[in-house]
A and B are shown apart, each in its own frame.
Chain A
Amino acid sequence: MMKIKSFVGQPIERLEDLRFVRGRGQYVDDLARKDMLHAAILRSSVGHGHIRSIDISRAQKIPGVHSVITAADLGTPTPRVPMRLHPMPEFEVFGQPIMARDKVRYVGEALAMVLAESAAAAEDALGEIAVEIEPLPAVSNHMIAAKNETLLFENKNSNVAMKFRAVLGDAAAAFKDAPYTRRESFSTQRHTALTIEPRGLLCEWDAARGKLTVSGAAKVLFFNRSVIARQLGLSEESIDMVEYDVGGSFGARGEFYPEDFLIPFAARHAGRPVKWTEDRREHLMTMNHAREAACDVEIACERDGTIRGLRGHVFVDIGAYMRTNGAVGARNIAQFMSGPYRVPNIDIDVSLLLTNKAPVGTYRGPGRFETDFFRERLFDMVARDLGIDQIEFRRLNLVSEAEMPYTVATITPFESKDELDSGDYQITLDRCLTEFGWAEKAKLKGKCVDGRYHGLAISCFIEGGAAGPKESARLVLEPDGTLTVYVGSSGVGQGLETAFAQIAADAMEMPIDRINNVFHDSTAYVSDGYGSYHSRSIVMGGSAILDAAMKLREAMCAEAARRLNCGAAEVVLADGHAHGTDGKSVSWAELAPEPISVEGTFLNKKHTWAYGSHAAHVSVDAKTGHVQLHDYVAVENCGRIINPLTLKGQLVGAVVQGLGGALMEHLVYDEHSQLLTGSLADYLVPTASDFPVVRGIVMESHPSPINPLGAKGAGEGGIIPVGGVIANAVADALSSFGVEPRDLPLSPSRVWQLIQDGLKPRDIH
């Protein structure tokens, strides 16, 4: 019998590409329905105020307008955006009403919705809605928030939504007699995922059958369905969430936003299909913001550089409301500040502060990008103080394989613990140094060549993935002997259709071209799905497929045994046939005159930890502050590589997003809580000419012990260390100026200002 080659581990070209390169993808704005209405949302241009009146009478008379909906139409109390991750009763009061009723708390908050025959007519009508708002003082940053002079929620006496701590060992004791300590303040700026496809939804209500179809859902279809069901008083079975193609998520799309209630509500209210797509300006105002944090942290070390402890205070600006996952980034900053390093004593508290800005949520590596910047900056400062090589300092403190599973700080009050699963962090550091050519490049450190100052940096990181608790998959053996795969995971561009086909093909020992399709885009396919977030899909969805495959093979063997008159244990499945004893066999197609459908699941309570190292070589034009990236090497070890092509794509793509965050992206609010970055001319993301050299290297070793694939989630590692590495490289380049970057982004004007502040009296050439 022929052994089918393994598909897992191969750089299989993606199945999805066949439609995408032809322009045959179907994104939500591509959909149309007969009799469709368009929704447009009136958004506050005041950052904080009491709503005195909303007059929709003129808007209702605009030709083409079907109706205008305000909070009063949504029921009392106004439904709220629920929390998905870490829902705690103390957060509920900070939940966002679907539409503002009495008070508005950020620019962009929904005030009214117009349904009209065309998108343009709907927007024309928005211009005719008269809103009277009595402005309140703007709480425009976390320091103002902390003063509690103006409260966002008058029935709470504080703008601190929540506070928690990361604790390990005894930090007080560790610091008391530490031979060396250093205390610093750092900050990261507000920025966002900025998907190229803006959000959208198309909802249809079939009154006769009591069925709601929501197209354009993404990422967490099952959770969102349960919310809509509860809020609209429908059963979950009567709601179908359909994904279609999704133009990027990076953790931000797919969360439950106010529109995820409003558009289904509108479809039922109007009895007609309703379509909504946001424009770019709305997107910048309303899609989850992220990353804005400041910290005051202190490290304690022995004289030889061994870290004794980390302690400090972190302040996270979470915007005006606590939305579905607003606490995740904050928690991660505290819990993972130690990263892949051994820090035996930790005491870091995090305050979540409410401000009059768009609410925050997860963005790729939430909290991890911020905390790696804080930590790695501190490390380079410490290494220099102690006269220790920056690489050796890191080596000394990396958690070793022998210490795994290694327990990190515990978060109170969640009491959530976590442990690093497997890995040898030294090998990715070594690989990075070699590929980067550190020894050769090191000659340039701090030197001025042709007017530019050169610098290097390296850092180590971990990436948590595979969030549980569960995922489901269903495999169907079709009457023609092909296999159809259904998963609860969501496709957001990461190539799941291909990776899951590879996994299914190997699990069933069949050629990949006999997998006729992988469906991930509807709640109708599996009974209990969860979706794609926290880099979980390969591990969770893939392992669910393995479980389903095992069960399908059992079912096939049982059926074959019946037909071939032998024991099920004697059946061998190979070459598209089921072989019994004495040479008899039956084809898979013959086994399934009716399709055989089997569901599998995977339960998980532990995270996987992919890990690696990044190194950067920059040069800085001291007269303009421009940072040029000459080389960037990102090494990531993810336990088991399913598709090296797509994995490397994730890695490089994430690095470039990180470079945007380190150097140029910034959502800027003024002192009146007005969002100044309202377009892509002001919110700057990397383009093709900005970072021509980014090298991604993927490794597999030390499989994860916690799932049958041995894989580790690896979609976010590319972004996590970038802020720290770039800032350290800039510090290295400008060491002769005494420049120590403490804040991101390192835009040209900020770098220039750092140089002016640190300038020694000497000529710059």
Chain B
Amino acid sequence: MSPLEIFFIFSAGITLVAAAMVVTARNLVHSAWWLILTLFGVAVLFALLNASFFAVIQVVIYIGAISILIIFAIMMTRRVAQDTGPKFNKDWGLAVAVSLFLFGGVTWMLSTWENFNIAPPTMPVDTDPLRQLGQALVSPDAYVLPFELASVLLLAALVGSIIIAWEKK
């Protein structure tokens, strides 16, 4: 067990425990705090994968914007100050079965793949992944079309969410 593996197991374990608390916490705001811990754990894993840009973007977008949006939405949709009543709906047993089946099925299918346990290849040293990513997102024979479509999607989401949540006076 190299120190890197121990560190991975530690952070992945914390992330999974936090994710389990997200879906089982009674108090919805506690779910939000656990979600923030989960997202931070995923950022740590991105840093372990040599994707430093994505680790920082994860913190900026998910923790800095999306989590705050979720907390605002929780505060604005509480009828009473405390959460009462059951937190799961009546089919939660079926949900447990479906998710266990999904996890088991995916893991079994992947374990029959011959590259399942490969070690990471060395990163090509002369490229700067950040510069490569920037050029790939705007060059016409790379990914400029998904990039432009994503920006149109963001514009539509921006305008749409403002109109949907507009209070008619």
A and B interact physically: no
Interface residues, chain A, CB within 8 Å of chain B? none
